[in-house]
Amino acid sequence: MFTKNHLKLVCAVALASGFLSGCASKIENVQGKPSVYEDVSTTGSVGGVGIESQDVVAMTDQMMRDMLANPMLTGRSTPPRIIIDNEYIKNESTSVINTNMLTDRLRIELNRAANGRMVFVGRHFSDMVQKERDLKRDGAVDGGTIRQTAAQAGADFRLGGRISSLDAIDRNTGTQSRYSQVTFEMVDLELGTIVWSGLYEMRKAARDNVVYR
């Protein structure tokens, strides 16, 4: 006759071998949905009211075209030196976004399209550059194959900007609406004047259960 302890032992053996018949409730091994690639310039299968990939692509493409059409930036006989990074991009909105995604894409696409009409200063790489300069001047390495300069490159213009938003929620339906406004401005680093401004805005509404990280 099986005692309660015998039954527990049988169940433990069955569980260890992967057979659960009669000893435990059946566990369904549900297969996960395989990942798929989506076009970053279109609305994905998961979306909310925040700034998403299609917005990043659309706004940086628009800003790039506007900058390339500005003669103060691309019409000079000597190409201007420009800094585009997120140092002076302020996110004052309720959207969670890594502002590097905006400035990195804008800088890279501009650098490709400008074809020498703009020169981009990698100020975010200044520590790396300075370490190599110090090694060369201390004689730890040779001078490389390009010229030596008295200092790192100074810039003529630098990008600044702001992300703002205005939210509204319908308490009856749970629908959330968000108006987002993104501004970019190119500033003369000697005079402080603004030589170019760009604005991108959108409004989205959804029953938003999406978490942005």
Q: With respect to residue 8, please indicate whether it lies within any of the assigned structural domains.
A: no
The domain spanning residue 89 has which CATH number?
3.40.50
User: Is 165 a member of any domain?
Assistant: yes
Q: Does 14 map to a domain?
A: no
Positions of E strands within the chain: 81-83, 89-91, 119-120, 157-169, 176-188, 194-206
In a domain, 25, yes or no: no
Tokens of 81: 């030196």
**Structural domains of the chain, count:** 1
Which domain covers residue 184, as residue numbers?
48-141+151-205
Q: Alpha carbon 34 to chain centroid distance?
A: 25
Mean pLDDT is highest, among 27-31, 95-99, 157-161, for 157-161
Q: What is the per-residue pLDDT for 12?
A: 54
pLDDT digit string, tens, across residues 20-33 = 444 445 556 567 77
pLDDT digits (tens, 9 = 90+) for 103-121: 999 999 999 999 999 999 9
pTM of the entire predicted model: 0.77
Residue 9 lies in a domain: no
